[in-house]
Structure 1
Amino acid sequence: MIKQLSWKVGGQQGEGIESTGEIFAIALNRLGYYLYGYRHFSSRIKGGHTNNKIRVSTTEVRSISDDLDILVAFDQETIDVNYKELHSKGLILADAKFGPTKPEDTEASLFVVPFTEIATELGTSLMKNMVAIGATAAVLDLDIQVFEEVVREIFGKKGDQVVAKNMDAIKAGFDNMKDKLGQGVEPMHLEKADGKHRMFMIGNDAIALGAIAGGCRFMAAYPITPASEIMEYLIKKLPALGGTVIQTEDEIAAATMAIGANYAGVRTITASAGPGLSLKMEAIGLAGMTEVPLVIVDTQRGGPSTGLPTKQEQSDLMAMIYGTHGEIPKIVMAPSTVEEAFYDTAEAFNLAEEYQVPVIILSDLQLSLGKQTVEPLNVDNVEIRRGKLLSGDLPEIEAKGYFKRYEVTEDGVSPRVIPGMKNGIHHVTGVEHAETGKPSESAANRLAQMDKRMRKLENIRFNTPVYKNAKHEEADVLFVGFNSTRGVIEEAMGRLENDGLKVNHAHIRLIHPFPTDEVLPLIQSAKKVVVLENNATGQLANIIKMNVGHADKIVKHVKYDGNPFLPHEVYTKAKELF
């Protein structure tokens, strides 16, 4: 019996690799297993190697595994690219169509299964992925009926005959592989799962769902990898709630349209990736100057320029904090799990309205597109807070006077109105302005308004600015990360603790303004601080040095080849220090 399994399917993009992994994973999720999946795919519609690696476990997992138990290969390239992940008892299930060969430097077993031939005999070669699922079920000694509900959901609209054909393909693959087992290879029996129902979703879906729960009813966006799923989800869901999504002509239009909608009182979101955020920067500055709430999602990917649009990276950190010209207050949040992506997105709308600032929700490709098991989300935990947005009758103002929309206040937040409110008339302009919004180049006014806006950062309250797993008063190593690196750190921590090291962990969820008071004690009590991030220059490490100090303790552990960290890489880095 094994408690967890690592399974990967690979082939050419457009061959149904994603759907193969999807059907396999959904079925096991419904049995109550925990899953974590990560897709490697090319930045083109069809062609190029792609694979989907899925980890299945009886306990919670938040990262991909170091090694591989089963590799399902639809071409030789899949074997050549991925075989080194297989452990000595791993299995390669390869389509007979391409005459697969096993590299000499692996002890894994190769099984040649006629995926394409069986599928063609049943009616169409397109069902080869179903044959592969059946072969996998035989290796795991699973009842193939666990896949029927999923197959029916996916293909039911095409009729019962199509559903039956796909189930026939799964059965044929199961029977073919069953005949091959026993030749020195035993089935990999997974321990039984707890059978509980949990969600299975990507981070982008959680962000979109969090936006809905947080009262968002409008989205303006332009498609871009890896953010497009947010828009696609909301296109399906918002109309039923009286909302809408507009696909704009470009990123600039998306940002300015979102500002206009928020000014009118509608909670609005826009989402993009690095190149799109570069285009939005001027508009983000406009939101800061006009003090209009704005929620923006940045799903980080490999850069610069077009870079590696379908690969993992975390290199937008400095740009999100300092990218705008001039100085404005802004909030940069960084959820580390799918659950946090849901709740943090809902909270982003509250923070944007309470402090009247741009709020950037920072994600990365691994978090946004990696599909994982999620405990049921509780919408009752989401509240709506609209800050100083006024309603009802406003006090009368002097004849020909204007509402003090930018009134200088102690907390830096001014009263806010929406267009059409009686006695609420005021100027809105991107140039510096007085309390009524009227343009002003007065030095005294400039100081008053700049100081007012920047005071907002002194009062920002965020429930959990740092996720802490710090059980040691004095630690040998403190790991620090943000976004999707949380899971891989947690896994490495367990191995290091078994080796006798004292290890603490801090995951930064509020990047800006930086939670110095939360992080400082953890760094002071650690011998070494390893900052883990997917970029070349150690941006988070540099931010920590700027805000906390203790540069002599900080060790940068960076990876920027487009791939996420693996647990053994984190473990090895820490061991090198002692």
Structure 2
Amino acid sequence: MISQLSWKIGGQQGEGVESTDRIFSTALNRLGYYLYGYRHFSSRIKGGHTNNKIRISTKPIRAISDDLDILVAFDQESIDFNAHELREGGVVVADAKFNPTIPDESKTKLFAVPITAIAEELGTSLMKNMVASGASWALLGLPLEVFNKAVEEEFGRKGPAIVEKNIEAVRRGAEYVLELAGGPIEGLKLEPADGEQKLFMIGNDAIALGALAAGCRIMSAYPITPASEIMEYLIKKLPKFGGTVVQTEDEIAAITMAIGSNYAGVRTMTASAGPGLALMMEAIGLAGMTETPVVIVDTQRGGPSTGLPTKQEQSDINALIYGTHGEIPKIVLSPSSIEECFYDTIHAFNLAEEYQVPVILATDLQLSLGKQSCDVLDYNKIVINRGKIASDIPDREDGSLFKRFELTEDHVSTRALPGTKNGIHHVTGVEHDESGRPSESPINRKNMMDKRLSKLDNLKVENAVHVQATHEEPDLLIIGMGSTGGTIDQARIHLEAEGIKTSHLTVRLLHPFPVNDVLPHLQKAKKVIVLENNATGQLADLIKLNVGFREKINNVLKYDGNPFLPSEVYAESKKVLSSEDSAEKLSKELV
């Protein structure tokens, strides 16, 4: 028996690939396995190759695997596109309808199952996804009863007749492939899972749930890949808590509506991707100038322009930090796991109101849309901090306005929400004095700029970096952000097995940069790799700018639209280390 394997299904978009993956992984989750999924899909509603890959394990995992154990193929293109991942002894379960073939050199088994034909016998070809699921599930030797419960969950709302037909499709697919294979394949039998309850969700769902738990009651947004699921989740949930989602006409309306709602005292957020973030920049500057809290989620994707809207990238870092014209304080957080997506969203709302600044939560497509197992969330950890909000403002005999932008010791003024007695003040996007009245006085301008830009001097963000350091002076420090964390950890296992001392640092606060948290790790490491999904090394440049050590830092970049694989991180790490060894050898020879 084995402790983990990888399963992938491929076909044309709109052919049921997504629903097959959903039911298959749900059943595995019910058994208590740890799962990590990745979706490869086209930027169109129907047509074009798509595939979903799931890594299944008895232990926690946070990375996709390099190889593949089972491939379920609805067409020949799925085999041609993915066969190179199949390990020796792997299996292809393909629809006999297209006369499937596997490469001559492939050391895998092909089972041609009349997937479509069985489904049509049961009344509709739409049920071919259940036939395929039953076939691959049977090869693992897992109990069909558990899978059938997942089918009931998926189709229960359509009535018992539909449920029964789909369960029959699963049974026939299982029976057919077991007859071909002579029973479950020994090399694919999974060890039993721990059976413990786990959540299984995408990062976008965790963010939406975090917003709900944080007290967010309005979301204004415009649909865009890969952020739309946040809005779709909240459309279903917010009304149950007295909230609402407003689909605006564009991202400019979304951000300005969010700013206005926050000014009124309602915790409000918006979410978008790179193109939408670009449209929001002027309004983000308005939030900075008016010191209005607002939370913005940026789910990074391939750019520039429309770019690769359904593919992985981490290329918005410079835009997130420097995108607004002029200079304002802002906070940029970068969660690296499903749990962090939840807790960091709550933290983002607290930071936005405590410091009265825009807070941007930066994820990437793999973290946003990759479905993963995570521990049950601890709601006892939730703390709500609304910052300085006036509740009892004394009368002013001189009739002066409330000093909404008062110069204070900690540079954060008290907010007076609309309707608060004696809280009348001006709010404007031009420079203003303490009461909000427009002012072009040079002295006032300097005071207000210093006030705004100093409010983050004492910023406190827990776990600004996440460190896994097993050595005091590592041969190699690997730095990443977002979804790269689990992949780095997987590569480190192989590096450590070869006696290479490695450490791993994930940057979770991109701005203001946590210099003091990063500095000691750069000082101790002999070599440093900064791993990121972009073409110009934006995270590496950020580290060099704020911390230094340019001579130690090596860029490892990937910008083809795919996330890093553990084998790629391992190989690049070996290259960096071998180049150092070669340089030392050359130096000795010259001496």
TM bucket (normalised to shorter chain) is over 0.9
The CA deviation string for residues 104-152 of structure 1, in whole angstroms up to 9 with x for no partner, is: 2321121111100111111111111111111112210111111111111
Mark the runs of 5 or more structure 2 residues left unpaired by the alignment.
578-591
Aligned twin of 1:519: 518
Give the conservation status (yes or no) of the 8 Å contact 1:139–1:187: no
Aligned pair in 2 of structure 1 residues 184, 250: CA closer, same or farther (>3 Å)? closer
Aligned twin of 2:166: 166
Give the drift of 1:398: 3.8
Q: Confirm whether residue 44 of structure 1 aligns to residue 44 of structure 2.
A: yes
Give the drift of 1:399: 2.7
How high is the TM-score relative to the length of structure 1? 0.99
Aligned twin of 2:416: 417
CA distance in 2, matches of 1:153, 1:222: 30
Question: Could you tell me which amino acid in structure 1 is paired with residue 454 of structure 2?
Answer: R
Q: Confirm whether residue 487 of structure 1 aligns to residue 486 of structure 2.
A: yes
Pairing of 1:53-452 with structure 2 (within 5 A): 53-182=53-182, 186=186, 188-391=188-391, 393-452=392-451
Give the conservation status (yes or no) of the 8 Å contact 1:73–1:93: yes
CA distance in 2, matches of 1:186, 1:21: 23
Give the drift of 1:182: 3.7
Aligned pair in 2 of structure 1 residues 143, 416: CA closer, same or farther (>3 Å)? same
- Greater Cα offset, 180-189 or 364-373: 180-189
CA distance in 2, matches of 1:102, 1:147: 28
Q: Percent identity?
A: 66
CA distance in 1, matches of 2:182, 2:555: 48
Give the number of equivalent residue pairs: 577
Mark the runs of 5 or more structure 1 residues left unpaired by the alignment.
none
CA distance in 2, matches of 1:105, 1:178: 25
CA distance in 2, matches of 1:29, 1:467: 27
CA distance in 1, matches of 2:272, 2:105: 43
Question: Could you tell me which amino acid in structure 2 is paired with residue 337 of structure 1?
Answer: S
CA distance in 2, matches of 1:420, 1:155: 49
Question: Any idea what SS the aligned residue of 1:551 has?
Answer: coil
Question: Any idea what SS the aligned residue of 1:200 has?
Answer: strand
The CA deviation string for residues 538-575 of structure 1, in whole angstroms up to 9 with x for no partner, is: 10000000000000000000100000000000011111
Question: Any idea what SS the aligned residue of 1:254 has?
Answer: helix
CA distance in 1, matches of 2:223, 2:105: 43
Aligned twin of 1:499: 498
CA distance in 2, matches of 1:183, 1:420: 72
Question: Any idea what SS the aligned residue of 2:429 has?
Answer: coil
Give the drift of 1:184: 12
CA distance in 1, matches of 2:436, 2:386: 21
Question: Could you tell me which amino acid in structure 2 is paired with residue 59 of structure 1?
Answer: K
Give the conservation status (yes or no) of the 8 Å contact 2:426–2:436: yes
CA distance in 2, matches of 1:367, 1:189: 29
Aligned twin of 1:25: 25
Question: Could you tell me which amino acid in structure 2 is paired with residue 463 of structure 1?
Answer: E
CA distance in 2, matches of 1:382, 1:280: 29
Question: Any idea what SS the aligned residue of 2:216 has?
Answer: coil
Give the drift of 1:409: 1.4
Question: Any idea what SS the aligned residue of 2:204 has?
Answer: helix
Aligned twin of 2:10: 10
Give the conservation status (yes or no) of the 8 Å contact 1:363–1:483: yes
Give the conservation status (yes or no) of the 8 Å contact 1:141–1:187: no
How high is the TM-score relative to the length of structure 2? 0.97
Question: Could you tell me which amino acid in structure 1 is paired with residue 455 of structure 2?
Answer: K
Give the conservation status (yes or no) of the 8 Å contact 2:138–2:184: no
Q: Confirm whether residue 453 of structure 1 aligns to residue 452 of structure 2.
A: yes
Pairing of 1:461-480 with structure 2 (within 5 A): 461-480=460-479
Give the conservation status (yes or no) of the 8 Å contact 1:181–1:187: no
Question: Could you tell me which amino acid in structure 1 is paired with residue 516 of structure 2?
Answer: D
CA distance in 1, matches of 2:528, 2:403: 48
- Greater Cα offset, 396-405 or 91-100: 396-405
Question: Any idea what SS the aligned residue of 2:304 has?
Answer: coil
Give the drift of 1:380: 1.3
Give the conservation status (yes or no) of the 8 Å contact 2:178–2:184: no
Give the drift of 1:187: 5.5
